[in-house]
Amino acid sequence: MYKYNDFDHAFVRTRVAEFRDQVDRRLSGSLTEEEFKPLRLKNGLYLQLHAYMLRVAVPYGTLNSRQMRQLAMIAEKWDKGYGHFTTRQNIQYNWPKLKDVPDILDALADVSMHAIQTSGNCIRNVTADHFAGAARDEIEDARITAELLRQWSTDHPEFQYLPRKFKIAVTGSPNDRAVTRAHDIGLRAIKDSEGSAGYEVLIGGGLGRTPMIGKVVRGFLPKEDLLPYIEAILRVYNLSGRRDNKYKARIKILVHETGIEELRAEIEKEFLTRKAEFPGINPELLQAIEQDFAAPIFNKLSVDNHVARVAHDKEFREWVKNNVARHKIPEYAIVTVSLKPVGGTPGDATAEQMRVMADLAETYTHDELRVSHEQNIVLPHVPKAYLPKVYDELKKAGLATPNLGLLSDIIACPGMDYCSLATARSIPIAQDIAKRFDHLQLERDIGALKIKISGCINACGHHHVGHIGILGLDKAGVENYQITLGGNATEDAHIGSRVGPGFSAEELVPALERLLKSYLQLRESPEETFYKCYNRLGMDPFKEALYPHLKPKQIKRDRA
Amino acid sequence: MSKIVRDYGFDRNILTVEDFISLATLRQGVEKPVRLDLGNDENPDGLQPYFCWLEMIRIPFPDFNDGRGFSLAKRLRQLGYEGVLRASGYLIADQYRMARLSGFDEIEIDDLLAARQPEWLWQSQVIKKKLSYQDRLLKTG
């Protein structure tokens, strides 16, 4: 993985010193609160409901064991002993004190980490496929591009005061695990007809209160044109994006209001000007990045003990089936550590659990960990021979819940328990759903299912792209949960459709129970997932299940 | 009154509104070197033939959160403008580096801001220009 050079080290240290100074100047009055706000946000510091929140960047979700241990140390020393992994592959601390923040940033710098541009109206932490470098279907490791973009976007002088935040995601595989179609810019590594490497470039995707699927702005962009082209997109957006209304300021609105054709013409024009004087990327620097992401030396150990354990241990077998994915090397596997125990907070890990994962990474898996946007931790290169040991250790630490991709592997935003924007609780809803279906013992039978919960219309919980999306709103002081069905976050990204009136917190879980029990009745076979079944049958039978008091006629009329 | 921030420190601003012309006036033609007030929502396309007549282009920052001026400056430089580029209005010292790296030569600020954010603070930003990922990424020579 990427190793900081002298420049990176000097940069993050200078940045910490700068922020220390900015905090002092805020306290002395040299900076107004309004002026200080974007500066603290660019260093990851939010003001939340009860306290400050520090969002630490985990670029493209990649960590080593030393970094993970430092995150554990920070959780214990300056927070309440845990951290929260987010849908943007970052980690958040919910309870730091303002005066401690410069020290926390220094502790991060000690292990080549920072909180730069994890918030504010700038280019945010670049995200990438959490299986990069390990996936079988990969064209190339997306993290090479993501690291290049991290460097290019860090403190970019032209793009620190954009109309709104700007998120870039990269995938190196045709199977999109990075939700590139729901980002301001999505990059998909492809090859043209002659075999040259490049990208398909998407713009204008995003969730939030106006969900939109990204549109292709350039079908094939040669690799060497990446930076000038991205700069052209950003420049056109910075000059033309709306600044009159915060809720219409994202590039998706510019795409929507201008039209992709016209915007493409503007971007291409800007690109030609930029390209004419673009000297190209320093080849040594690019090589150094590529070398840092070279695959580890894989040891092809015998898989016999793994095969034997699968044969005789049912629980292990269940975990392997759900939480272990195919690796590009047949003797290896990709393990996803579930941070979604039944009744827990999705994405939370205690300092102790972080250390367990760090130890496992160091001992068995080439010292690498990943944070996935689904709020789990990935051990990307595990020899199958070690799977039984890894499983046993995870199980002891409460980290072996075999629920990946199943009902209780829920994405949930922090909601009203932490967030000042939230209009409803999100985490307790996720917990209630997981507990109820655990009690019913239906999760395994229901199979693959993505439930995503947001506690307000800003949609941090990605509810628009959940097979079942849940949006918590406030209706005259009472929480009300709307259900959307049929969303999809993959390469076939799709925004789900709202079914009907919302449910109270108490009505919601029984409604989901009716919905999923009817799915079990309606499906053609256990192989037909909820998502497939919904696409075959459409909304009506599911609407009937959710609203049993409605007559079929009424359902048809509502749909019209 | 206002001050001009430059790399070496503050200067008193000696230019007034009469020293600048608008884009519309410029497009009617000029006979001597002039200074242009270019709105941050105005398009500089087609300005190249006038560049040799322009001593200075001044771009306003109505609010420090409005970053359009940075991109406009960069676009002008890429189009080949080599005269003085001045930012004017509400920029804070922490943005000096960004302004310089985006192509501005100087910033015009009012005396109130200059009192709150004194000369040394702006000058402390000058050295940070060197710590640039963007410059480092590019091929040199």
Per-residue pLDDT tens for A375-405? 999 999 999 999 999 999 999 999 999 999 9
Kindly state the average pLDDT of the residues A23-50: 90
Q: Would the pLDDT of A295 be above 80?
A: yes
Pair of tokens at residue B104: 């501005």
Residues on chain B touching A234 (C-beta within 8 angstroms):
71
Q: Please report the pLDDT score of residue A360 as a whole number.
A: 98
Is A368 within 8 Å of A307 (Cβ atoms)? no
Residue B137 is which amino acid? L
Site from B40, B66, B74, B100 to mutate, A interface, most A CB atoms within 10 angstroms: B74
Q: Which of A45, A47, A49, A55 is nearest to A415 (CA)?
A: A49
Q: CA nearest A274 in B: which residue?
A: B78
Q: Which residues of chain B have pLDDT under 50?
A: none
Give the rounded percent of residues in chain A with a pLDDT score beyond 90.
Answer: 91
pLDDT tens digit sequence for A482-508: 999 999 999 898 999 999 999 999 999
Least CB–CB distance from B72: residue in A121, A239, A278 = A239
Maximum pairwise Cα distance, chain A: 70
A282 vs B101: CB contact, 8 Å cut-off? no
Least CB–CB distance from A238: residue in B71, B128, B136 = B71
Which residue segments constitute the domains of chain A, with CATH numbers given? 6-110 (3.90.480.20), 127-290 (3.30.413.10), 304-396 (3.90.480.20), 411-559 (3.30.413.10)
Say yes or no: A288 contacts chain B, CB-CB below 8 A: no
Q: How confident is the model at residue A554 (pLDDT cuts 50, 70, 90)?
A: low
**CATH code at B7?**
3.40.50
B137 vs A281: CB contact, 8 Å cut-off? yes
Is A196 within 8 Å of A222 (Cβ atoms)? yes
The DSSP H or E segment spanning B78 is helix B68-78
A279 vs B94: CB contact, 8 Å cut-off? no
Q: State the total domains in chain B.
A: 1
Least CB–CB distance from B74: residue in A22, A162, A235 = A235
Q: SS3 of A542, please?
A: helix
Q: Please report the pLDDT score of residue B45 as a whole number.
A: 86
Q: CA nearest B72 in A: which residue?
A: A239
A432: left (phi over 0), alpha (psi -120 to 50) or beta: alpha
Residue A100 is which amino acid? D
Q: Please report the pLDDT score of residue A59 as a whole number.
A: 96
B139 vs A31: CB contact, 8 Å cut-off? no
Q: Please report the pLDDT score of residue B140 as a whole number.
A: 76
d(CA A181, CA A160): 24
Residues on chain B touching A273 (C-beta within 8 angstroms):
75, 78-79
pLDDT tens digit sequence for A128-158: 999 999 999 999 999 999 999 999 999 999 9
Q: Would the pLDDT of A560 be above 80?
A: no
Q: Residues of chain B whose C-beta is under 8 A from some C-beta in A?
A: 64-68, 70-72, 74-75, 78-79, 92, 94-95, 97-102, 116-117, 121, 128, 131-134, 136-140
Is B89 within 8 Å of B61 (Cβ atoms)? yes
CB atoms within 10 A of CB B11: 12
Q: Please report the pLDDT score of residue A552 as a whole number.
A: 60
SS3 content of chain A, % helix, strand, coil (to 5): 45, 20, 40
Kindly state the average pLDDT of the residues A353-377: 96
Is the torsion defined by CA of A355, A360, A365, A369 positive or negative? negative
The DSSP H or E segment spanning A62 is strand A62-63
Residues on chain B touching A277 (C-beta within 8 angstroms):
78
Question: Nearest CA of chain A to the CA of B13: how many Å?
Answer: 23
CB atoms within 10 A of CB A38: 20
Q: Please report the pLDDT score of residue A559 as a whole number.
A: 54
A157 vs B98: CB contact, 8 Å cut-off? yes
Q: Please report the pLDDT score of residue A556 as a whole number.
A: 57
Residues on chain B touching A151 (C-beta within 8 angstroms):
133, 136-137
What is the domain extent for residue B37? 2-137
The upper half-sphere exposure of residue B72, i.e. CA atoms within 13 Å in the direction of its Cβ, equals 23
Local structure of residue A441 (DSSP, 8 states): T
pTM of the model: 0.94
* Angle between helix A505-522 and helix A530-537 axes, rounded to 10 deg: 80
d(CA B62, CA B48): 26
d(CA A262, CA A131): 36
Is B87 within 8 Å of B108 (Cβ atoms)? yes
d(CA A290, CA A78): 36
Q: Residue A428 burial by CB count (10 A; 0-12/13-18/19+): exposed, middle or buried?
A: middle
Is A55 within 8 Å of A46 (Cβ atoms)? yes
Q: Would the pLDDT of A558 be above 60?
A: no
Q: Please report the pLDDT score of residue A551 as a whole number.
A: 66
Residues on chain A touching B131 (C-beta within 8 angstroms):
7, 10-11, 14, 155
A10 vs B131: CB contact, 8 Å cut-off? yes
Pair of tokens at residue B127: 């050295």
A273 vs B134: CB contact, 8 Å cut-off? no
* Angle between helix A65-78 and helix A351-364 axes, rounded to 10 deg: 170
Q: How confident is the model at residue A467 (pLDDT cuts 50, 70, 90)?
A: very high
When computed from its CA atoms, the radius of gyration of chain A, rounded to whole angstroms, is 23
When computed from its CA atoms, the radius of gyration of chain B, rounded to whole angstroms, is 15
Q: Would the pLDDT of A553 be above 80?
A: no
pLDDT tens digit sequence for A296-308: 999 899 999 999 9
Least CB–CB distance from A160: residue in B98, B131, B137 = B98
More confident residue, A549 or A291: A291
The DSSP H or E segment spanning A275 is helix A260-277
Q: Would the pLDDT of A268 be above 50?
A: yes
A161 vs B66: CB contact, 8 Å cut-off? yes
The upper half-sphere exposure of residue A357, i.e. CA atoms within 13 Å in the direction of its Cβ, equals 31
Q: Please report the pLDDT score of residue B128 as a whole number.
A: 72
B67 vs A161: CB contact, 8 Å cut-off? yes
Task: Give the alpha-carbon dihedral of A243, A246, A251, A252, to 10 degrees.
Answer: -140
Q: Would the pLDDT of A431 be above 50?
A: yes
Average of per-residue pLDDT values in chain A = 94
